[in-house]
Chains A and B, each alone.
Chain A
Amino acid sequence: MATSSDILYSVRNLTVEYETRHGVVKGVDDVSLDIRRGEILGLVGESGSGKSTLGKAMMRLRNGSARITSGELWFDGQNLMELSERQMRDLRGSRLGMVFQDPMTSLNPVQRIVEHLTETMLTHEPEWTEEEARARAEELVERLGIRRERVKDYPHQMSGGMRQRVMIALALALNCDLVIADEPTTSLDVIVEAKFLDLLKELRDEFNLTILLITHNIGVVAEVADRVAVMYAAKLVEIGDVNQVFEKPLHPYTEGLLKSVPNIELDSGALYKMEGSPPDLSSPPPGCRFHPRCPYMMEEVCPIYDPPFAPPEGASEDTRVACWLHHPHPQKVAIGA
């Protein structure tokens, strides 16, 4: 079990609400999550399950009408919720970095690559000179496999893979401790994606990075992540070691996800397709949110009681799951008492 000093970032009971015309939508609902120093934690879930909302909230970035309504964000011993906006801004880009899904749209089209880098550096390290920043920018870009001269280019002159490496460079510019990468490879083709993931692993060792890798692609997680967290309808349903989760998923949703991945070895023709579709977050189903789609649904428990997100009976603290299959049923508890 990880000791507290191993934990770099800890999300505790975080709830994020969106104000919409159809009422309040909880994009993230009572989520708790620990990220350990130096690990790559994969966060998977379908689109709309709240992954980006969680990632942005972890940096306390405003996203539309989103508001953090409760919870604590502990980063390296300090509660981010208690920091002023100014202090928060100082952390962003210097200790907390973010890489977005679409590198095409996440770089300023009228700013040269080098300007992106130097601007970030000089914002956080005002005493650096322009030349120092520029030199460091070139060095960094070169380390990431982009020719030095290309820093003078504009974003539109670069390929998707190069732009995504620039985004990483921006997070490395000041040696961020934690990089939140929100679907960084979704818009890249498969070969570029593989190279990028390799690079990510290398950088993690070289720069002592901790990475929260958000993706809806289980293959990506399998390839690079140390641990994996599964999100469904604004809640975490399972977290654990990658190998363990992939071998023996505890939550029926995780199981469904894994079964729906084309498996070359088996190649048994028809691909598994999960029943139903994710719930509308403005009125999520009561009890376990997955129960309407769950093949193991237990009539007397699942639609009524919300399962706790806790280690299953008899398992180690490292694994957690939110499913009544692995927790004592509330009725039984009540009868036993």
Chain B
Amino acid sequence: MSPLALIFLIIGIPALIGLAYIFVRGSAGLRRYILTRIGLLIPMVFILASLVFFVMRVLPGDPVRSSLGPKGSAETVARMREQLGLDDPLIVQYGRFLGDIVTLDFGNSLTGGRRPIIDEMSERFPATLELVIPAAGLALLIGIVGGTLAAARRKRPFDYALRLYSVVIYSIPVFWLGLIFQLVFGVRLGWTPIAGRIDPVIATTLERTTNILWLDAIITGNWAALWSSLSHLVLPVVTLGLILSGVFLRLTRVNVIETLQMEYIGAARARGIRERIVVGSHALKNAIIPVITLLGLQVAILLAGAVLTETVFSWPGMGQYLVQRISSRDYTAVQSVITMFAMLVALISLAVDIVYSLVDPRVRY
């Protein structure tokens, strides 16, 4: 079984079950909302995929010429064009492209072993997940805790320090932060490895099933591999997580401050509720709702950041794959990866909206 299918089992099945549960148990309004939202998913994927197609095909530049380079004879070019169906009318190509997306069959890569692109992606996708999920978690943790504390200590030095932090961290290019971390923690202090997912020697001893290395290491009880994979994971995750944390910090802070002005906060205090609970529960629960909505938009930053982070740390994920395929001018693969990213964005935004509808009882469409 391919890692992609396994990942789907691990994440997708529980998500589907959860969705079904919400669907059955939830109110009619909630059901309708979820259905509408799923309905909106399709145009979104469609538009994004079309955008990718448009960019790759209609903009000037011939993918075959550029993939073969100056060496390609007119004959090979023609043969390749035919193979790829590039001589068909654009509309036919477009239809085929959309069909490929539905069947998740992206064809074979033009370079290397000419393996099916979906297989190549399914190897890389877990690596990206392994990086992106803890990074998002870290960012949320820093953002929510920091933002709430800053809001509760408003206009005091702690608050100013965190505001400064969030502006500065926002201005730092993620790839540069990664390099500086490599420099400091990898090169100078020697605490962590500076590149890759796992020590190559240890890697040979690890049997892979999900291709999420620490998970595989736990499954097989390979503790050396677990340690190695975690130590490789630290720097990229911290890099990406810190970059993202600034946005969450700002959002949380502003929202908590705004919520603390609300009358129900005063009312809770008037009932003798402890301040810790007023801020940490009443205010935070309300403030977190807009933060969740914006989480969907931050996914874009997260994925873009992942591409750069993977490049810096030679992390063999989807981002690095994209960059490699661009430099080897494998446009089929490039197009497929970007489409995949588009679907991912659409799916995550769906998930975020559903979570939102659960957290905020007021959502009733």
User: Which residues in A have some Cβ–Cβ distance to B below 8 Å?
Assistant: 56, 59, 61-63, 89-94, 97-98, 100, 102, 105-111, 119-120, 123-124, 154, 156, 167, 170
Q: Are B272 and A90 in contact (CB under 8 A)?
A: yes
Q: Are A98 and B270 in contact (CB under 8 A)?
A: yes
Q: Are B273 and A106 in contact (CB under 8 A)?
A: no
Q: Are A94 and B272 in contact (CB under 8 A)?
A: yes
- CB nearest to A62 among chain B residues: B269
Q: Are B360 and A92 in contact (CB under 8 A)?
A: no
Interface residues of B in 277-306 (CB under 8 A from A): 282, 285-286, 289
Residues of B within 8 A of A97 (CB): 270-271
Interface residues of B in 236-274 (CB under 8 A from A): 262-264, 266-274
Give Cα A98–Cα B266 distance, bound, in whole angstroms: 10
User: Which residues in B have some Cβ–Cβ distance to A below 8 Å?
Assistant: 262-264, 266-274, 282, 285-286, 289, 359-362
Identify which of B266, B274, B362 contacts A100 (C-beta below 8 A): B266
Give Cα A107–Cα B265 distance, bound, in whole angstroms: 8
Q: Are A61 and B263 in contact (CB under 8 A)?
A: no
Give Cα A93–Cα B268 distance, bound, in whole angstroms: 9
Give Cα A100–Cα B263 distance, bound, in whole angstroms: 8
Give Cα A61–Cα B268 distance, bound, in whole angstroms: 11
Give Cα A108–Cα B361 distance, bound, in whole angstroms: 11
Q: Are B264 and A108 in contact (CB under 8 A)?
A: yes
Residues of A within 8 A of B362 (CB): 109, 154, 156
Give Cα A98–Cα B271 distance, bound, in whole angstroms: 8
Q: Are A154 and B361 in contact (CB under 8 A)?
A: yes
Shortest CB-to-CB span from B129 to chain A, Å, is 31
Known: A100-B263, A109-B286. A120 touches B361 (CB 8 A): no
Q: Are A111 and B282 in contact (CB under 8 A)?
A: yes
Q: Are A120 and B272 in contact (CB under 8 A)?
A: yes
- CB nearest to A167 among chain B residues: B267
Give Cα A255–Cα B193 distance, bound, in whole angstroms: 84
Q: Are A59 and B270 in contact (CB under 8 A)?
A: yes
Give Cα A154–Cα B262 distance, bound, in whole angstroms: 17
Shortest CB-to-CB span from A274 to chain B, Å, is 30
Residues of A within 8 A of B269 (CB): 61-62, 92
Give Cα A106–Cα B271 distance, bound, in whole angstroms: 11
Shortest CB-to-CB span from B56 to chain A, Å, is 45
Known: A102-B263, A105-B263, A105-B264. A123 touches B359 (CB 8 A): no
Give Cα A42–Cα B359 distance, bound, in whole angstroms: 41
Q: Are B264 and A93 in contact (CB under 8 A)?
A: no
Give Cα A294–Cα B266 distance, bound, in whole angstroms: 37
- CB nearest to A121 among chain B residues: B271
Give Cα A92–Cα B362 distance, bound, in whole angstroms: 29
Q: Are B273 and A120 in contact (CB under 8 A)?
A: yes
Q: Are A156 and B361 in contact (CB under 8 A)?
A: yes
Q: Are A107 and B274 in contact (CB under 8 A)?
A: no
Identify which of A98, A107, A123 contacts B264 (C-beta below 8 A): A107
Q: Are B266 and A93 in contact (CB under 8 A)?
A: no
